[in-house]
Amino acid sequence: MSGFTHIPILAKEISDLLITYTDGIYLDGTLGLGGHSGILLEKLSEKGRIIGLDKDINAITMAKENVNDKRLITFNLSYTCSDEALKQAGVQGVNGALFDLGLSSYQLDDASRGFSFLRQGPLDMRFDTAQKLSAKEVINTYSADKLENIFTLYGEERNASKIALAICAARRQAPIETTTALAKIVETVLPRFGKIHPATKIFQALRIEVNGELDCVKGVAGILKKILLKGGRGAVLTFHSTEDRIIKFAFKELCQSGDFVLVNKKVIEPCFEEIKSNSRSRSAKLRVIEKIK
């Protein structure tokens, strides 16, 4: 486990905008390997605390090792259960909350998790390995129409229909069981050209479907309303346009209620230097909101 690393994206911007009270309690709703939490803790006093959540028990184990700070309190829960975690921690509200909706680098780099087409592994893609639905089941049992729908909605793939039909034709010969096998099928429809692999959007769409990610994202505004104290801030880091649109409009509705204001009216994106040093940051967008009532 210790061989995995993760570079937190927009870490300085998040730390500067989120931490307004150094003695406060903050929530890291998507703990991962603890990269953001470690940086946030540098700004907090000895009285400050971070409550870190993750559905992936392995991520929690590694985060605790990486951060190695008694001020980090962890729970093996989805961020959709933030209010439950606060109750278990004996906390009524937090001074800030971060939701990094991206995939952890360790999950991408671990071939056994099946998130990446760059390494051969089982078609899995589950954040919570205890759940039943996996990418293998989606690919081998969903109808062509249903596959086309998720590739279009979650991957914004223009060739969704052709790719769905190619998958259905291939699985009639034999079950599709590995990441590389799926990637090769996609390449028969969209030959590789340039730096971005043609299977990128398909793998994104599958991951979103398997983990019900967009349903979770739609609940972020409600979570912030429940858990933020007055003056508390919520920061959300998204990595594709569908997620960002959901957060953009959810924040707009929160502001229209009169209880919240935008901290940054214009979305924040990584600078050229960050993208150059960490290519996985290229699609990141950060939005921050503050509860004023």
The predicted structure's pLDDT at residue 110: 80
Answer yes or no: CATH 3.40.630.40 is held by domain 11-106+214-291.
Answer: no
SS3 168: helix
Q: 117-211 in CATH: which number?
A: 1.10.150.170
Do 228 and 234 meet the contact criterion of CB atoms below 8 Å apart?
A: yes
Residue with tokens 């829960």: 77
Report the pLDDT value the prediction gives residue 5, as an integer from 0 to 100.
58
For the cut 50, the answer to whether the pLDDT of residue 1 exceeds it is no
Helices in 192-238 by DSSP H: which ranges? Answer: 200-211, 213-218, 220-227
**Which of 13-17, 29-33, 175-179, 280-284 is least confident?**
280-284
Q: What share of the chain is helix, strand, coil (3-state, %, to 5)?
A: 50, 15, 35
Reported as a single tens digit per residue, the pLDDT across 190-225 is: 988 777 789 999 999 999 999 999 999 999 999 999
Longest dimension (CA), the chain: 61
Domain boundaries defined on the chain: 11-106+214-291, 117-211
| DSSP run (H or E) holding 244 | helix 241-256
* pLDDT value for 238: 95
Is pLDDT larger for residue 227 or for residue 112? 227
pTM: 0.86
- Residue 180: pLDDT over 90: yes
Q: What is the pLDDT of residues 217-274, one digit of tens each?
A: 999 999 999 999 999 999 999 998 889 999 999 999 999 999 999 999 899 999 999 9
Q: How far apart are CA 50 and CA 73, in angstroms?
A: 6
Query: Tell me: the pLDDT tens digits for 37-71?
Result: 999 999 999 999 999 999 888 889 999 999 999 99
pLDDT tens, position by position, 74-91 = 999 999 999 999 999 999
Query: For residue 106, what pLDDT is reported?
Result: 66
Tell whether the model's pLDDT for residue 6 goes beyond 70. Answer: no
Most confident of 117-121, 142-146, 279-283: 142-146
pLDDT for 4 beyond 80: no
How large is the average pLDDT for residues 270-290? 92
pLDDT higher than 70, residue 165: yes
What is the helix (H) or strand (E) element at residue 188, kind and residue range?
Answer: helix 179-189
Would you place residue 104 in the very low, low, confident or very high pLDDT band (cuts 50, 70, 90)? low
Tokens encoding 157: 């793939």
Residue-averaged pLDDT of the chain: 93
How would residue 123 be classed by pLDDT, with cut points 50, 70 and 90? very high
Q: Is pLDDT of 3 > 70?
A: no
Amino acid of residue 119: R
The CA–CA distances, whole Å, from 215 to 28, 33, 79, 84 equal: 19, 23, 12, 18
- At 149, the amino acid letter reads N
For residues 116 and 118, give the distance between their C-alpha atoms in angstroms, rounded to a whole number. 5
